[in-house]
Amino acid sequence: MKFFVDTADVTAIRHLNDIGLIDGVTTNPSIIAKSGRDIMEVTKEICGLVTGPVSAEVTALDYDGMMKEAAVLAKIADNICIKLPLTIDGLKACKALTSDGHQTNVTLCFSVNQALLAAKCGATYVSPFVGRLDDINLDGMQLIRDIRTMFNNYDTLNTQILAASLRNANHVSGAALAGADVGTIPPNVIEDLAEHTLTKNGLDTFMTDWAKTGQTIV
C-alpha cells in the first residue's frame, strides 16, 4: 500500500519524505485552513518537496467553477492531483479533467455506489472516508473491503482506492489488509506505526547488555 501524508505541514512532510515513507500528499480545505497559509503558496511548496501526487481540492460547488479552479490549481506543478467532491458536478468535472490528462481524486466517498460512479468517470483515485463512517457507528473498513471486491469484479475499473480519514494505526493495517491501493495518513499516525512495546523493551535490553561489554564498533 502506498502512503500519502494527509497534511499541509511542510516540516512534517519534509521529515517523513527524508525517511522515504511518502508516496504523495493529500490536502483538503480544512487542512489548508489549519496550516494558516495561502493555498497556492503552501501547495507549491509541497509539490516541490515530493515527486508523487499532491491532491489540491477545488472549493467551487458547480461544474464551471470547479473547472476554473482546477485550471488554476493544475498550473501549480506537474504533480498536482485535482481533488473533487463526490457530487454530480464533481463527477462531471472528474470526467473532463481525466480526459484532459489530469490526475483526479474524488473525495468524500461513503458508499460502494459512489465509488462506482467515480470509477466510471475515470477518477485516478477515489477516497472512501473510514474514520468518518466509524464516527457515526458504521464500519468504515467494511466499505474499503466492499469497494475492493467491486473493483476486482471488473477489468475496466482502473481507479485506485485511496483509503482516507485514517485516524490510527489499526486503520492503516486494516486498509492494507482490505487491499486499499493507497492510504492517506496524518504524520503522527505514520510515526506511530513504528511503535511496539516489544521493540522498545528489546532495544533497552540490547543496550544494557552491550554497555556491559565495554565494546564500541569502529
Interface residues toward ligand E4P, by CB under 6 A: 6, 26, 28, 107, 127, 129, 131-132, 164-165, 167, 184
CA distance 54 to 4: 9
Q: Compute the least distance from the CB of residue 147 to ligand E4P, in Å.
A: 15
Q: Compute the least distance from the CB of residue 105 to ligand E4P, in Å.
A: 7
> In terms of CB distance, is 2 or 167 closer to ligand E4P?
167
> In terms of CB distance, is 120 or 167 closer to ligand E4P?
167
CA distance 56 to 199: 37
* DSSP annotation of 11: H
> In terms of CB distance, is 44 or 132 closer to ligand E4P?
132
CB 28 within 8 A of CB 83: yes
152: number of Cβ within 10 Å: 10
| H-assigned helices in the chain | 10-19, 29-35, 39-49, 63-74, 88-99, 112-120, 130-135, 140-152, 169-178, 187-192, 197-213
Tell me the residue nearest to ligand E4P as measured from the CB: 165
Q: Is the dihedral of CA 188, 193, 199, 201 positive or negative?
A: positive
Does 83 qualify as catalytic in the annotation? Answer: yes
Q: Is the dihedral of CA 188, 191, 194, 199 positive or negative?
A: negative
Which residue among 44, 75, 83, 212 is the active-site one?
83
Q: Compute the least distance from the CB of residue 30 to ligand E4P, in Å.
A: 6
Q: Compute the least distance from the CB of residue 202 to ligand E4P, in Å.
A: 33
> In terms of CB distance, is 6 or 69 closer to ligand E4P?
6
The residues that are catalytic are 83
